[in-house]
Amino acid sequence: MFKNKKHVHSDDGDCCIELDMTVELNTSVADIKLDNPVVAASGSMGHSDELFEVIDPREFGAITIKSLAPFLSPGNPSPRVGACPTGMMNSVGLPGPHIKDWIDSDLEKLKKSGAKIIMAIWGRTFEDYAKAAKIVTQYSENFIALEVNVSCPNTEAGNRLFAFSKDDVQKITELVKNEVGNKLPIFIKLSSSVTSIVDIASGAVKAGADGLTLFNTSLGLVIDPYTRKPILGKGSGGYSGAGVFPIVCKGVYEVRSAFPEIPIIGVGGVSSGQDAAALMMCGANLVGIATATFANPKAVIRINQELADFCFNTGVVKVSELTNTIEMPT
């Protein structure tokens, strides 16, 4: 909760009344209770406690682990990250240990931090997703949700993402749901680089997804004109940052309009409290940040304060009241 004072002038302007007002940033979605709606998006905090000396992970409503698979993944060749106007490019490629090895070596560190943890998985095949979900389910008491990443643009599949096919999204959701049951809410992470996000999202919703994460990085390519070569070792990669924000807002709005009840974590281009408020107005229940964290690991503190200030200045008592309040022209 954030407390502040608001000065209200009388109708005749002769006096000013000072009012105390409390803004409630705590929220609940898919039976998950969080202290605030700003989530560390997958990949932004690494696999373990890498950034905990810089930022207390409890400043986030929750932190999402970088996606892990039921196998060791080396990732892509360097360079893996590059700057570009209004954002950044990356082709990190989901490097990481086998899920079970990560659980044995790193999970306890995260638990000791007091952070609320969203586990995240990925795979190269349908069977990989089922295997990953089965392992996570055995340790479900350590997590508040499971994010299923079907949309990373930086894997061997490249431009052939599962997230481009409604049938594939539906099948993966069914496989994961069969393994997890009701032990964890599952959020399917989709891509904005599709012609109809509502059609793709319908596959996840039909298969029983508890929520959606919208979106992963967008497919992109940046070259150095002096060398005529891509700035990333893999060539193309994922684009993130302020430049994708309008695209994310539109996608979230379309999905919310089609599926009024589905919980949504909106991710992409959020760099201020006003951005967070706007994305929630478009339909997001929670807001994920990543590029803002890369620029400043403590950005979440500023964003939450700005969000609270925005709510205070506009008379919003509970942050959850912002969700799906956009007023579109008729």
Q: Is 152 a catalytic residue?
A: yes
Buried b (16+ CB within 10 A) or exposed e, 213-225: bbbbbbbbebeee
In the set 84, 152, 282, 311, the catalytic residue is 152
Residue type, 87: G
DSSP string of 153-164, one letter each residue = TTSTTTT--GGG
Terminal Cα distance for the chain, rounded: 36
Instruction: Give CA separation, 101 vs 16, 93, 96, 104, 307, in Å.
Output: 62, 19, 10, 5, 38
Sheet order of strands, 81-84 included: 81-84, 87-90, 237-240, 218-220
Candidates 302, 287, 300; CA nearest to 29 is: 287
Tokens found for residue 132: 């990953």
| Beta partners for residue 146, in sequence order | 119, 186
Which residues of 61-210 form beta strands (DSSP E)? 62-64, 81-84, 87-90, 117-121, 145-149, 186-190
Instruction: Give CA separation, 64 vs 42, 52, 53, 119, 209, in Å.
Output: 5, 14, 18, 6, 17
Return d(Cα 154, Cα 94) in angstroms, integer.
7
Q: How many CA atoms lie within 13 A of 63 on its CB side?
A: 28
**Residue appearing with tokens 């503190």:** 301
Residue positions annotated with a catalytic role: 152
